[in-house]
Structure 1
């Protein structure tokens, strides 16, 4: 009955996920894709390069990128990766200046979530807390 799933490519799964997100947008979600730009409401928390906050080397992101204080980086939930937010992509976060680069990914339990890198400043991360934000990135029509 479900034998056809083997024929699905990564591109078709990505398109299906995007379609589902767009349908969610029509029913009150916060996903928008226009003019090649993706706009999405997510939950944002903050993290640091501290051994207690990660497994492995806290100064290295999931794809081998070096994290050091002053770098504008984010970690993203894996569902955002499936929506086309690729490693190295630049993201704007409403309310924060500049562009942030996707340099890390989060545990698979998280959805529609980003983690903003705040160097070694644990107090700044705690002050940020957890809040909703709107992110934007350039979607690629592949």
Structure 2
């Protein structure tokens, strides 16, 4: 009886590990080379007085924001992962590609801010969400 139990446990463990391992390897293979992804807190901001510095149309790296641009600001801790000025980012649930052009106050961590021009109502309706972002990373 004891041998039978050991054999059953070993077979179960092998099947379980094979199932987990194959899923993990499949997920890694599906990820294109040079791409990174992570889940972040996503909020929104506007080019209006009180939400920006002196000129609400100039971002942190002196980029001029223009209506129609798809822009995000990133928390500074994300910069070490390649999310710096000019990085291209896809955001789960949003169409198109966004460009990192702004950075957030250093008190924020693991966060992006989606630029919604001057539409404060739209930004408030957006609220705060957890979303997956995907970007190309050369390192």
* Alignment TM class, shorter chain as reference: 0.7 to 0.9
2:129 to 121, 128, 131: 131
Q: Residues 32-47 of structure 1: matches in 2 within 5 Å?
A: 35-47=33-45
Matched residue pairs, number? 109
1:82 to 77, 80, 97: 80
Runs of at least 5 residues in structure 1 that lack an aligned partner in the other structure: 1-32
Quick check: which has more Rg, 1 or 2? 2
Tell me which residue corresponds to 1:71.
Answer: 69
Q: Greater share of helix residues, 1 or 2?
A: 2
1:86, 1:55 → 2: CA distance? 19
TM-score (norm 2): 0.75
Provide, for residues 22-75 of structure 1, a one-character-per-residue CA deviation record: whole Å limited to 9, x for no partner.
xxxxxxxxxxx7621010100000000001212221110001111132110000
Computed over aligned residues only, the root mean square deviation of the Cα atoms, in angstroms, reads 1.2
Point out 4+ residue stretches in structure 1 off by more than 3 angstroms.
none
TM-score (norm 1): 0.74
Q: Residues 85-124 of structure 1: matches in 2 within 5 Å?
A: 85-124=83-122
Tell me which residue corresponds to 2:49.
Answer: 51
Runs of at least 5 residues in structure 2 that lack an aligned partner in the other structure: 1-30
SS of 1:64 mapped into structure 2: coil
Provide, for residues 62-100 of structure 1, a one-character-per-residue CA deviation record: whole Å limited to 9, x for no partner.
011111321100000000001221210110001000000
Tell me which residue corresponds to 2:14.
Answer: none
